[in-house]
Structure 1
């Protein structure tokens, strides 16, 4: 009896939830400082004589390093592991913040905070995302949403913490403390054990039943209905008529152990290509080269001791249905052998790959030929630019309409609180709906753009709080599906490369459009106009994806029409 080995699959839980906690710790320690950038660096940038443009340059460089590190992610994870990459990234984050404490120039801030810290954040973000996708399949949305809750929780606490640290230790002491907090990401990274250590056997649904699988070997026994020959004797599959010794040598041992005949699941082709051998040894070679995954015909080998052996299929043999292709019936076996090409197989010499092709294969750059993937990266990158610029500009916007640091920190905390609520409540719901994560994300960012444009026109305390609550919730609803849109489209093998190239795309757009948004604010002296320009970028993402959906729908409708006509 053949026992099929069980397939090992991700646990979709178990240690995976511990990995989720580890990712939350990493996100809390490395990314929660970003929305408080204006609050933390505001006084220092004022002393250096740079305002919004300088802040935009620092944040754009930071984002560029975060995202351009995606070029390294795929090869690094393939060569080492996502846990080791996350550990190195966490160490770089803490080191970059600590080295920023004595900064007295823009160049110093760019070198330490933007470059060193940015590279570390990029490595940890990519490694932790890949780790979660190895642990979860069906509950991937919940896992990613819960892990991002660490970021949102940090965004809620960090503005208050930064305010208190600035009051107690000034900028240089505050950045040192935050650097120590970032080093705690090392503890979270150690929890990202290889997912293969925790794989579990696949559990099949009862609806599948015990039906034989494709390519399954089926043995026929002596008393099987309708299969025994008319004379009532056991019929063997291979019959060498001219050499009884050979026949007994091959089959006696098997017949002693069981009354079952030789398994009836091997390919005819393994005999056809060797049918013109000139010795009895060809019988051995034919038998030894059986293909146990092909069609199931009864074959008889006829040979003479002094002439070349021939391959024939007996006239009265009954045909059995092919298990690999159940709907195919072989009606004319004589014609099959007659039409089969008898030329020897020829193999073309393998072409030597060029260095560029090796690089393309190693980094999976063939993804850049996929227009759907490119449009996906375009939309995500456009939204990312708007999101990063909003986090940078918001503290300056509140200051411009007369609110102090305490009120600004409260506003940011309230927005982060509703963000956390959305990330905890919505992922289980999103995993159960039939709508794709990409469509859910597009709906979410559409609402985000509208709410932020409304917020930009508010000046009263109560209305600002109301719209910050709404903005925080819809932002959390959108961001829980932000990275999943990549894993939803890509295979697990290409996921590190797909995510890395997606990060590179974000970096390019941040470098290109980040300073433009800063220039719009400085040239117009209007923060509301800057927020409206961010909404414009978000709507560009929605328009690009909507056009793709329409084109795909029209193609599908055209194909359905052709199939109906046929």
Structure 2
């Protein structure tokens, strides 16, 4: 290996242990030794943070994510709507009564909700795309197995259990990834997806009925399963958000690097007191850079170019002694270093007393290496003991189930703001789903035809689809009162369900469905704003997961209670109970809003 002779040395790569300081020591003038030069790109950043801040694109590929999520939410109601339209006759042929029919339907929602709890860690382990694609394949498998099920047990497993898991895998990541792509327009993006879901409810029910009439039960199930494969296409669009981050545009223009295209090599150094410092060396040196080091003001000091050439040959090493500097016989301090190897330069420089520098380096290298051997042994033993302790402490860490449950942020359950967001949302969702279940029976009990009951559901879906997009656009405005509108949604939901049985006219029923569509649009669209106002965006997926657990519990418990009341008191009593559940959710947010206004009023200074 030819070329110029060089000197390679190892220098400290970690701060030495700090000794107990009993009295104030005088400052030293020892120059800290560089550890390893690291390239750092200089841009339009500020002083100590030269890199521009990377933020979500607020569009760009995010609209492709919205497209994939919208397709999933448009076609996936074909699987859920199929339960009432497609499976009612088939379940009756297998001997299922009203109780079995209700259990199978509620079990799907329960499994769906409990699976959503595990979605955040699963997506972190395997990625958004992989999890969503697997969910689309399981959705297709669900409909295939349901098409050929011949008894209630196999149908319950294929549709309720497997279908609940597939539904959560297919739809969860679309909602969880949207806040990672949007910053100012996340309300609009969420509203588009919610509108696609409402349009899917309108279109899929008659489509499934048409498929059943044209092709029969088996082929209708297979076609519906093929429609659910759109989730696989959506999963391919779920790129990791880190791929599409962009520099923040509102950077301070006054602070700017005079050489924006240059690269700066930064020497990470460790001083005697263990403080890590950065010393940049740009390719275009600053004109005010000092040309002399502290303590070397004589003309015979080394030049800056020689120092940089020496620092280029620095590798790394841990300190050989307890302190980072030792005192030589001459009284001058030098850094401890271990010379890895050295060659004699063509111009051998003689040291003090006529001893060549090469010989001195060999002696220093041998002594330093000998003093470092005990420390190497101690560190090796310490690392081995730490590895052994970790092995004893986490012997089951390789299991995916263990990893998933350990990655859950259980601290959210101790956060009062999580309960402020989760419980009202779960109560309102329970009231909404059960009101939709009870609406056809209530309309027909008032003497109207089944077509009129279906039309009432269509009115609700149309109003929800139109209002969701409007509210989504308004929610991104700075002046829009998010929490006040969110509270209004709970109030309207409780009023339209509680007052529905009071006036048994068809026009009043349709008016209540329009108001209910407005209420659910406010709650569903503004949920993302409220959740992100009280939780950071990186916890949003975990918040949705734990909220889904509450949704599943309340749907099962309160749904059974509503059914029991409907058997005793009729549909009127069921709607009164549903309105009471929505009123509890509204009361929580009314109290929260009143406390916020009162606190703000107390902070306003009183003029004197």
> Is the structural similarity TM-score above 0.5?
yes
| Distance in 2 of aligned mates of 1:449 and 1:460 | 19
Other-structure match for 1:239: 295
Structure 1 residue 158, shift from structure 2 partner: 2.2
The alpha carbon displacement at 1:284 in A equals 5.2
Structure 2 counterpart of 1:185: 231
User: Does 2:446 correspond to 1:401?
Assistant: yes
Q: Does 1:523 align with 2:568?
A: yes
CA distance in 2, matches of 1:522, 1:282: 95
1:479 to 514, 521, 524: 524
Structure 1 residues 523, 41: CA separation in 2 closer, same or farther (over 3 Å shift)? farther
**Normalising by structure 2, what TM-score?**
0.67
TM-score by length of 1: 0.71
Counterpart of 2:426 (choices 353, 358, 381) is 381
**What is the distance in 1 between the residues matched to 2:555 and 2:102?**
10
- Give the match for residue 46 of structure 2: none
* Alignment equivalent of 1:120, drawn from 166, 175, 178: 166
Q: 1:134 aligns with which of 180, 201, 221?
A: 180
What CA distance in whole angstroms lies between the structure 2 residues aligned with 1:388 and 1:176?
27
Secondary structure in 1 matching 2:295: strand
In 2, Cα distance between the equivalents of 1:119 and 1:171? 23
Secondary structure class of the residue paired with 2:420: helix
Q: Deviations over 1:301-334 (max 9, x none)?
A: xxxx9xxxxxxxxxxxxxxxxxxxxxxxxxxxxx
1:71 matched residue in structure 2:
117
Map of 2:578 onto structure 1: 534
- Cα distance in 1 for residues equivalent to 2:221 and 2:287: 82
Alpha-carbon distance in 1 for matches of 2:567, 2:97:
9
Aligned to 2:302: 249
Query: Is 2:133–2:235's contact at 8 Å kept on the other side of the alignment?
Result: yes
* 1:142-541 alignment runs, 5 A limit: 142-169=188-215, 172-205=218-251, 209-210=254-255, 236=292, 238-240=294-296, 245=300, 248-249=301-302, 251=304, 277-279=326-328, 285=335, 354=393, 362-434=407-479, 437=482, 439-524=484-569, 526-541=570-585
Shifted more, 113-122 versus 433-442: the winner is 433-442
SS at match of 1:481: helix
Deviation at 1:277, TM superposition (A): 3.9
Q: Return the alpha-carbon distance in structure 1 between the equivalents of residues 82 and 451 of structure 2.
A: 12
Cα deviation, residue 209, structure 1 = 3.8
Q: Is the 8 A contact 1:145 1:480 kept in 2?
A: yes
Deviations 1:517-541 (CA, angstroms, capped at 9, x unpaired):
22221232x1232122122112222
Map of 2:371 onto structure 1: none
- Following superposition, the deviation at residue 142 of structure 1 comes to 0.8
Range that drifts further, 474-483 or 69-78:
474-483
The one-character-per-residue Cα deviations of 1:370-414 (angstroms, maximum 9, x if unpaired) are 122133222222222222222322233333334444333332222
Aligned CA-pair RMSD: 4.2
**1:47, 1:15 → 2: CA distance?**
48
Cα–Cα, structure 1 residues 547 and 472, in superposed 2: closer, same or farther, change >3 Å? closer
**How much has 1:45 moved relative to structure 2?**
5.5
Q: Structure 1 residues 481 and 194 mapped into 2: Cα distance closer, same or farther (>3 Å)?
A: same
Partner SS, residue 432 of structure 1: coil
The SS at the match of 1:69 is helix
2:342 alignment counterpart: none
Distance (whole Å) between structure 2 residues aligned to residue 431 and residue 281 of structure 1: 69
Q: Deviations over 1:20-43 (max 9, x none)?
A: 111011111213554674444444
The aligned runs of 1:4-153 (5 Å cut-off) are 4-31=50-77, 34=80, 37-44=83-90, 53-103=99-149, 105-153=151-199
- 1:137–1:45 CA distance, 2 compared to 1 (3 A): same
Which segments of 5 or more consecutive residues in structure 2 lack a partner in the other structure? 1-40, 44-49, 258-276, 309-321, 338-351, 353-381
Which whole-Å CA distance do the structure 1 matches of 2:212 and 2:445 have between them? 20
Larger mean CA deviation between 406-415 and 112-121 belongs to 406-415
Q: Is the 8 A contact 2:474 2:480 kept in 1?
A: no
Distance apart, 1:66 and its partner CA: 0.8
CA distance in 1, matches of 2:217, 2:331: 88
Q: Which residue of 2 aligns with 1:338?
A: none
Give the match for residue 331 of structure 1. none
Assess, with a 3 A threshold, how the Cα gap between structure 1 residues 369 and 555 changes in structure 2: closer, same or farther: farther
**Could you say if the C-alpha distance between residues 543 and 115 of structure 1 is closer, same or farther in structure 2, counting changes exceeding 3 Å?**
same
> For residues 574 and 464 of structure 2, what CA distance do their matches in structure 1 show?
22
Against the structure 1 CA distance between its residues 164 and 469, is the aligned structure 2 distance closer, same or farther, given a 3 Å change threshold? farther
Partner residue in 2 for 1:339: none
Query: Does the aligned pair in 1 maintain the 2:178–2:190 contact within 8 Å?
Result: yes
Distance 2:445 2:93 in 1: 18
Contact persistence 2:489–2:518 (CA under 8 A): no
Taking structure 1 as reference, are residues 153 and 217 closer, same or farther at Cα in structure 2, changes over 3 Å only?
farther
1:112/1:105 Cα in 2 relative to 1: closer, same or farther (>3 Å)? same
Contact 2:75 2:204 in 1 (8 A): no
C-alpha distance after superposition, 1:108-146 (max 9, x if no partner):
442122111111111122111122222212111111110
Q: In the alignment, what sits opposite 2:32?
A: none
